[in-house]
Amino acid sequence: MQHVLDAIQSDASSDDFANLVIPESYRAVHVRKDEQDMWKGTPANEKDPRKSLHVGEVPTPELAPDEVYLAVMASSINFNTVWTSIFEPVSTFGPMARLGRESSWAKRHDRDYQVVGSDASGVVLKVGSAVRNWKPGDRVTVHCNHVDDQDQSAHDDSMMAANQRIWGYETNFGGLADLAVVKANQLMPKPAHLTWEEAAVNALCNSTSYRMLVSHNGAQMKQGDVVLIWGATGGIGAYATQYVLNGGGIPVCVVSNAEKAQILRNMGVEHIIDRAAAGYQFWKDEHTHDEGEWRRLGKDIRDLCGEDPDIVFEHPGRSTFAASMYVAKRGGTVVTCAATSGFMMEFDNRHFWMRLKKLVGSHFANYKEAWEANRLISKGMIHPVMSQVFALDQTGEAAFQVHHNMHEGKIGVLALSPEEGLGVTNQELRDQLGDKIHAFRRA
């Protein structure tokens, strides 16, 4: 791929890019089908992504008419790569086998390996015959909503599409690689003031938080709304916090240590709960809730801001869900996109129906929502939350850190980009924004 990198670094023309030879194989982070049972009987927290994520050459697949080959300069770790690497809650080879049955092009995805990764920034190398809006040489970021746009169900809200999938999680040829295969309707312009790695960390988490809080498909936050944000310096929480601050809401942010609390204070957050210091125990044991602890959380929120939350931004799942449903105010909304700590939920329905609350399930974002979220990054109104950068060969270690909650914000991964700091083409906006771009960066 050196010839591709040379073209990118010398700002080659679109024609030059179009004439580049696409290599027959490429370096990629992948899991192997013959290892999908390797963790049988092992507790989830002992399953080690460093052992199941392999880095090596894989063959380049053929390009479908609605796709592009992307030279990936950088990518990022999302929690879904952790799920894939520990084969939980299911092995992702099942969804790819189902995808493979849909069409002859889809069949390419069903292999004995899966290239993972659901974020990327890079340069378009070659476009399929049906691609109209993008050309070789375009600098882009990629969102992970993979839909068949010839299916009628994809044409109201594409997240409602019957065959909607997450690229690099439920499909093959993902972004943690030097090359990726991407549908043209996943492409968005790269924010010009960001480096490749800063541009690569946003799309999945930023778009998810945009839909959950801002979109009419989510909680539709308005000025003055109190929003309880679990994991407020994690991947999705860090963007959620920015949306609440930008939109005139009042964030009440939950984190688990003093360093994370300090990041939030630097961002301008006033109301912060350190859940580790507070020591909430919402479950007395595996089967028994402690309602008194829900009340204690509710009181702590009232003591901080004088009100109950209009919206709860929920994703930890089983450990917090009942408390979230309890503390949301009368008529308030709990919006959820995940269940990190367990997906079998239980809550006291009396507090839900008697107080007329709403529960909104949310999953990633449609193209329009992802585009709007990317536009806000491009305008310097929402910022990347990158804390560390790893080399592609170190992806296993990066995923291990996310698995064990050892990180803040997002972890960037360099693919073709030989070093950090490259790719900026709007230095003026970067200078104007100053430290805001680095709010999560570890010293």
230 near ligand NAP, rule: CB under 6 A: yes
Give Cβ neighbours of residue 56 (< 8 Å, ≥ 6 apart): 27, 28, 30
168 near ligand NAP, rule: CB under 6 A: no
149, 145, 192: which is closest to 375 by C-alpha?
192
205 near ligand NAP, rule: CB under 6 A: yes
In the complex, least distance from residue 98 CB atom to ligand NAP, rounded to whole angstroms: 19
Complex with ligand NAP: residue 130 or 258, whichever CB lies closer = 258
311 near ligand NAP, rule: CB under 6 A: no
275 near ligand NAP, rule: CB under 6 A: yes
254 near ligand NAP, rule: CB under 6 A: yes
Distances (CA, A) of 213 to 18, 69, 272, 312, 426: 40, 33, 19, 10, 29
Helix then strand count (H, E) for the chain reads 16, 20
Complex with ligand NAP: residue 71 or 77, whichever CB lies closer = 77
Among 191, 235, 309, 332, binds ligand NAP (CB under 6 A): 235
Q: Looking at the DSSP assignment, which residues form a beta bridge with residue 229?
A: 253, 313
In the complex, least distance from residue 56 CB atom to ligand NAP, rounded to whole angstroms: 25
SS (H, E, C) 161-215: CCCCEECCCCCCCCCCECEEEEEHHHEEECCCCCCHHHHHCCHHHHHHHHHHHCC
Which of 45-53, 200-208, 243-251, 263-271 is the region at the interface with ligand NAP (rule: CB under 6 A)? 200-208
Select the residue whose beta carbon is closest to ligand NAP and give its number.
234
Region class of 125: left (phi > 0), else alpha (psi between -120 and 50), else beta: alpha
313, 17, 29, 298: which is closest to 179 by C-alpha?
29
319 near ligand NAP, rule: CB under 6 A: yes
Counting Cα atoms < 13 Å in the Cβ hemisphere of 26 gives 27
Complex with ligand NAP: residue 83 or 173, whichever CB lies closer = 83
The interface mask with ligand NAP, positions 378-417, x = CB under 6 A, is: ------------------------x--x------------
Among 80, 158, 171, 388, binds ligand NAP (CB under 6 A): 80
Among 79, 113, 321, 326, binds ligand NAP (CB under 6 A): 79
Do 418 and 5 meet the contact criterion of CB atoms below 8 Å apart? yes
Q: Looking at the DSSP assignment, which residues form a beta bridge with residue 76?
A: 412
237 near ligand NAP, rule: CB under 6 A: yes
Torsion of CA 280, 387, 234, 75, to 10 degrees: -150
76 near ligand NAP, rule: CB under 6 A: no
Which of 85-93, 131-139, 254-262, 378-386 is the region at the interface with ligand NAP (rule: CB under 6 A)? 254-262
320 near ligand NAP, rule: CB under 6 A: yes
What 3-state DSSP class applies to 358?
Answer: strand
Helix pair 367-378, 203-213: axis angle to 10 deg: 110
281 near ligand NAP, rule: CB under 6 A: no
In the complex, least distance from residue 82 CB atom to ligand NAP, rounded to whole angstroms: 8
Among 32, 363, 438, 441, binds ligand NAP (CB under 6 A): 363
Q: Looking at the DSSP assignment, which residues form a beta bridge with residue 69?
A: 126, 181
Separation of CA 396 from chain center: 17
Residues in the chain: 443
In the complex, least distance from residue 367 CB atom to ligand NAP, rounded to whole angstroms: 14
Separation CA 74–CA 71 (nearest Å): 9
Q: What is the DSSP letter of 419?
A: S
In the complex, least distance from residue 359 CB atom to ligand NAP, rounded to whole angstroms: 15
Which of 29-37, 78-86, 385-393, 415-423 is the region at the interface with ligand NAP (rule: CB under 6 A)? 78-86
298 near ligand NAP, rule: CB under 6 A: no
327 near ligand NAP, rule: CB under 6 A: no
Separation CA 315–CA 339 (nearest Å): 5
341 near ligand NAP, rule: CB under 6 A: yes
21-50 positions binding ligand NAP, by CB under 6 A: none
In the complex, least distance from residue 396 CB atom to ligand NAP, rounded to whole angstroms: 16
214 near ligand NAP, rule: CB under 6 A: no
Q: What is the DSSP letter of 109?
A: G
> Using CB under 6 A as the criterion, which residues of the chain lie in contact with ligand NAP when the complex forms?
78-80, 204-205, 208, 230-231, 233-237, 254-256, 260, 275, 315-316, 319-320, 337-338, 340-341, 363-364, 402, 405
